Structure 1
């Protein structure tokens, strides 16, 4: 039925249609001032009271999503309105409302019209295009959508039908729990589809590699407001893994991949274990992409072969390294890395650094050249072999050192939290201190253990909770000018507390961080230990605000640190994220060094300061300024530290 006002309007138009044609013929350049083309409009979807359903309706409506991005003519707007009926009905049905209705009303904006009874135009009216064309230019059409849900339909009967040739379907308790579809549950499309997918996943995890659960058939029962559903299930045989094929390997030995894999032929087929094995191989860093696939048919022996596809990453990489603090000055250099030296993921890294660029604790330029070789899976899968050859020159105020050292060790990952390492090191060095030069040949056997419960895989990523513990003991022997034996023992504990646990901030925005360090040298007195083996404090690793090696005993009337046999230090930080990429830090540190073998002796030095952070994809850029609160007579007044990652 046509709207009366629109019928009268049409009769009036019939009287001047000829004149309009004449005018447009005689004056073709005259614009049509009666209708807007394209037709602007706004869309309002009235809430149903169900937030999830309202979100689904908004996501389904082309009227809403396209109103600002695509201009539309009156006729095209009519088509968009007609299409929205089916799209919105589908959204209702996906939430179990199979008897729902959609009402779309259009008004000219002069008054609020939620329904045709309020004076609006019904979206299904066949005269809607004519009505839209009659809107004067500059008038926005107001589109109002009302969804009436009707009763919620629930699941009626649930049937599992065997595929052709299969026997009756009987689910075990694990499969029943995974399927989860029971009569009486809301007949929501997502739940119905998810149940079938979950059952198929459960079957394949039990070794039924060819299992398949079809898209369910559904029968609507309006009289009872229920939906009967039926799934066709093919279970198939239990399957073991067959032969593995490796494709795309160019420089990597297939034997290494076979040893590294956490699955093997003959084991039960399980997609989750296959995926974990794929991710583990990808984590080696050798490949830019790792894929694993299998066909739909079994091998003649009834096993399921797997095809691994690899795309090897770059073999070589070059990086830059740099940092700055007012005590140690600037350090800058380059690193060259070979990522697969012998085809078994061996990594060779060559680094050259210039150090001591303008530091207050430095007397001149130094260098640090080293070559690192890491061989993964040495002896066992969770064990790596590492070796280093290094040349060092340091022009510190405490001493001048030129050294050549070599070390080799094994790092073993005990579990996801713990790793331990052990090895051996030899060092030949020459040290000048207080105008006296001595040579040392040192043998040492460092043993370390580390625990990380922060859940952070990348050490540069700031931790927000958990505990980190590092402990080491290094038995050593100095064999020049008389043999001295000593053991250096050190331990560091850091912990982090997110203030969200107190309801004071959002997760990860406000964090308290604490660090404690203690060290002790047993077996020899201070001057029987080479200067570089003694314990020192001061700098970013212990007490900020004091220069590197600036805390502890010093030679009389000099800036030269003696070092000690006992050291302890503690730090507290308050870390606050600001907006998305910025942050601020306030901190206070304290520590002491003494020649006594008992910790917590000597003069406590305290420093405090603040810093700024800029968060990048690889980690925060750190800038800290600290001042000593009880500065010694010859100490510095302040220190600046710049680096990547948090201090601890």
Structure 2
């Protein structure tokens, strides 16, 4: 895999891994205009002048005024199509009585034929009078779906879409209301529900729009047999099992969407879709077809991060995603961190591991997961050499809620202020996650909550303990189209067990680093203590972290971020006693690439300790949280 620098003509451009980043991009598919005809275009909007931008975007003549048309035919075709485009844009905004004039060389475009003589550079004048804004008047829905079952479904109503008397009569609200009614009928088992009538009457004197929608729910359907087409490496019976559309059950479009998401999570298909038969059979069943195209089973991936404090980190993995035709995944991971920061390779961080996942072991939403990992980690606060393993299950509970439960062991040696200590730990780990973010890599709306509980027993010192964390993230878009987004994160943790001298340091709490408090080294914030006259930092039994970001999208490709991180670690799990709160502030740059946001952050610690860097640079993929 490599990077290339492309310089087309005098303008510099940069592409990496096949993704164009900036500058003029060569277009190998460019088609030269035949019989080019230059023209000038002016646009005037009267009435509601706030719609000028809307009309400019709708008009192909105006938007492409710097590009020649393809002869007279191309110019007149562009002009005549503009009537429809501009009218549609005004309807979408709730304006149903506009006047649109498009003059080509002084003549109305609608009246011109190809025989017209045009000058070498054609003047085009577009004049739009928006007329008054219309509101919805009398609204009628014939055969509406019955009330829905869940709170979220009940909150989505025609009124919530703007389809109610007195609201601006946006054409889109009519279409969305129709789509909503059909979707609710399909959730109720009526697979072939359809809109059979739409009567729209504009009352121009009153500036009102009366609408009547009629629906035919059709017959209630039950699932028929499910057939699988296109599978070459995957067992069709396994695909049917994972689809989980039991023959004879009532049709429900939400179940089909859930089935498609479940099949997508397997990661074994290049393409996949679930199709319904065109008609319901006489016995009331509706045959289903799953069309898939298998992906190549093996893949190799690379990644990296960089911080001026923690150095360069490189990682790679090899994965077989369909070992025996039932979606089994075998993955090997390896990483090395601390490059460019540490001179001695013995001080680098090394991780190697293998994970095996078997989906659909008990139900289509249950996975069996087991893994083994070996680590050598060298932090500012301790050094770890360990071997660990886990075995357990993960479960998808509906669309948003996931959970996992596993047993784990760890055999580790630690070197820190207490000297060299060995630990052998057996325990259980449970996680519960509720995620309604719109995009995990670049969330602009929604929230994320994760709770973790980890009871364990340590055999070298003979101590039981329990560790728990709770984390929440929230995202709110202040400006339309996600131009300005406020993001917040809070995490708390408590550890109940023996003191630090008899507890594995990796299970105690530290803060600091790119996913915690930026500006401080990774896991460098802890509890200051003195052992045998030597002062050092150890892990704590209480943790608090908070982060706030203001994310501004400058353009489609670039964005900027300002952030503040705060965190502290306490010796007491109830957060009592003294603690040293650490704050990091900074700003960042984002490039929105096809694989996710490229993140570049600069942070500074407000209360640096001796040896702390004043400026920390972080580079990675995805938002900080």
When the two structures are superposed, what TM-score results if normalisation uses the length of structure 2?
0.69
How far apart in 2 are the matches of 1:467 and 1:206? 30
How far apart in 1 are the matches of 2:510 and 2:210? 77
More strand per residue: 2
- Residue 577 of structure 1 pairs with residue 555 of structure 2: no
- Residue 313 of structure 1 pairs with residue 289 of structure 2: no
State the Cα distance separating 1:248 from its structure 2 match. 0.9
Decide whether the 8 Å contact of 1:249 with 1:310 is kept in 2. yes
DSSP 3-state at the match of 2:327: coil
State the Cα distance separating 1:350 from its structure 2 match. 0.4
2:458 to 477, 494, 502: 477
- Residue 529 of structure 1 pairs with residue 507 of structure 2: no
Decide whether the 8 Å contact of 1:366 with 1:392 is kept in 2. yes
Superposed, 1:31-430 pairs within 5 Å as 40=39, 42=41, 47=46, 69-71=67-69, 132=117, 140-141=122-123, 171=143, 207=189, 237-271=219-253, 273-296=255-278, 299=281, 301-326=283-308, 328-357=310-339, 359=341, 364-396=347-379, 398-414=381-397, 416=399, 418-430=401-413
State the Cα distance separating 1:245 from its structure 2 match. 0.7
1:486 corresponds to: 464
2:15 corresponds to: none
Decide whether the 8 Å contact of 2:144 with 2:215 is kept in 1. no
2:10 corresponds to: none
1:566 corresponds to: 541
Provide closer, same or farther for how the CA distance between residues 380 and 57 of structure 1 changes in structure 2, counting only shifts above 3 A: same
State the Cα distance separating 1:423 from its structure 2 match. 2.2
2:580 to 582, 586, 604: 604
Decide whether the 8 Å contact of 2:402 with 2:432 is kept in 1. yes
Choose 233-242 or 623-632, whichever is displaced more.
233-242
Superposed, 1:451-462 pairs within 5 Å as 451-452=433-434, 455-458=437-440, 460-462=441-443
Spell out, residue by residue over 1:143-194, the C-alpha distance to the aligned partner (whole angstroms, 9 max, x if none): 56688999x9x999x9x9xxxxxxxxx957759x99xx99xxx999999999
State the Cα distance separating 1:268 from its structure 2 match. 2.8
Decide whether the 8 Å contact of 1:536 with 1:567 is kept in 2. no
Decide whether the 8 Å contact of 2:379 with 2:524 is kept in 1. no
Provide closer, same or farther for how the CA distance between residues 610 and 53 of structure 1 changes in structure 2, counting only shifts above 3 A: closer
DSSP 3-state at the match of 1:282: helix
State the Cα distance separating 1:340 from its structure 2 match. 1.8
Provide closer, same or farther for how the CA distance between residues 469 and 508 of structure 1 changes in structure 2, counting only shifts above 3 A: farther
Superposed, 1:612-631 pairs within 5 Å as 612-617=588-593, 618-627=596-605, 629=607, 631=609
2:616 corresponds to: 640
State the Cα distance separating 1:310 from its structure 2 match. 0.6
Decide whether the 8 Å contact of 1:38 with 1:72 is kept in 2. yes
State the Cα distance separating 1:257 from its structure 2 match. 2.0
When the two structures are superposed, what TM-score results if normalisation uses the length of structure 1?
0.67
Provide closer, same or farther for how the CA distance between residues 64 and 518 of structure 1 changes in structure 2, counting only shifts above 3 A: closer
How far apart in 1 are the matches of 2:545 and 2:465? 23
Spell out, residue by residue over 1:566-614, the C-alpha distance to the aligned partner (whole angstroms, 9 max, x if none): 23343343434262323233424342443x6663334515343424232
How far apart in 2 are the matches of 1:446 and 1:311? 38
Give the root-mean-square deviation of aligned CA atoms.
Answer: 5.6
Spell out, residue by residue over 1:517-572, the C-alpha distance to the aligned partner (whole angstroms, 9 max, x if none): 333242x33323345444444444555435634532254675754x2552334334
Provide closer, same or farther for how the CA distance between residues 80 and 46 of structure 1 changes in structure 2, counting only shifts above 3 A: farther
Decide whether the 8 Å contact of 1:346 with 1:373 is kept in 2. yes
How far apart in 2 are the matches of 1:611 and 1:92? 39
Decide whether the 8 Å contact of 1:592 with 1:600 is kept in 2. no
Question: What stretches of structure 2 of length at least 5 have no aligned partner?
Answer: 1-35, 148-156, 203-208
Choose 42-51 or 391-400, whichever is displaced more.
42-51
In our comparison, the structure showing a higher alpha carbon Rg is: 1
DSSP 3-state at the match of 1:274: helix
Question: What stretches of structure 1 of length at least 5 have no aligned partner?
Answer: 1-36, 109-120, 161-169, 221-226
DSSP 3-state at the match of 1:412: strand
